[in-house]
Every structure is written in C-alpha cells, then in structure tokens.
Amino acid sequence: MQSLKYLALLVSIALFLSLGAFAKNVNSGSFDLEQTAKVGSTVLQPGHYKAEWTGPENAVKVSILRNGKTVATTEGSIKELPSKAQNNSVTIKTLPDNSTRVDEIDFNNRTDALLLSGM
C-alpha cells in the first residue's frame, strides 16, 4: 500500500514537471535593443524586450513587450535560417529620413528569425 502511494506521488511530480515543457510559448523570444529604433510606428529606446507573434509564418502579428507590457505592435513574417543563430541579434535599417527601424530579430539557438514589416 505504501509503495502505491509513492508511485502515485512520483507520477504526479513527473506530470507536473512535464507541463512546463508543454506550456513554453515557442512563438516568442527576448532581445536587447542597443540603440533607438522604430517598430511599426513606435520609437523604442535601448533596453531589453520580448517579441511575441501569432499567425501564419508569412503574415504574423507581432507584439513587442517591455516589463510585461506591450509597447509596440506591427506585422511581419518568419524567416528560416540555414543554421541555428549563435546569439540574439537585431538588424537595424537606416531609413531615408535618417531614423532607424528594427528590420530582423534572430534568437539564440533557433533556426527561425522574425522579419518586421516597414510600416
């Protein structure tokens, strides 16, 4: 009877620990912005951000969060990289008016990159 209780306890613990793996949101990633740049129509200041996206790979809706709050939204797409990114990186594009825009975000150890549209 005691061994049955221990077995039930072990199964419960294993199930609880495995839920974390299934709950992980694979449609998000963190990045650091090292200079002021636009995302959509919003100008972001340097700092740590999180990108979250939903939708089909060729037309994702992107939310940029800072400290858990959405600070910018835009549209974009997912780009498959030939190999896993070595680290997080942000590609910045300089616009004709000399302002800058986030163009691409690569996430550490992932083969998908986030391309942001130039709205």
Please state the pTM of the whole predicted model. 0.76
> What was the pLDDT predicted at 1?
60
Q: What are phi and psi of 109, to 5 degrees?
A: 65, 25
- Do strands 89-94 and 47-54 pair parallel, antiparallel, or not at all (unpaired)? unpaired
Q: In this predicted model, what pLDDT tens digit does every residue of 15-57 receive, in sequence order? A: 455 444 444 446 999 999 999 999 999 999 999 999 999 999 9
Confidence at residue 62, expressed as pLDDT on a 0 to 100 scale: 96
pLDDT at residue 4, as a whole number: 55
Every domain of the chain and the residues it spans = 26-116
Q: What is the dihedral of CA 101, 70, 31, 85, to 10 degrees?
A: -90
pLDDT of residue 117: 86
Q: What is the pLDDT of residues 10-24, one digit of tens each?
A: 455 554 554 444 444
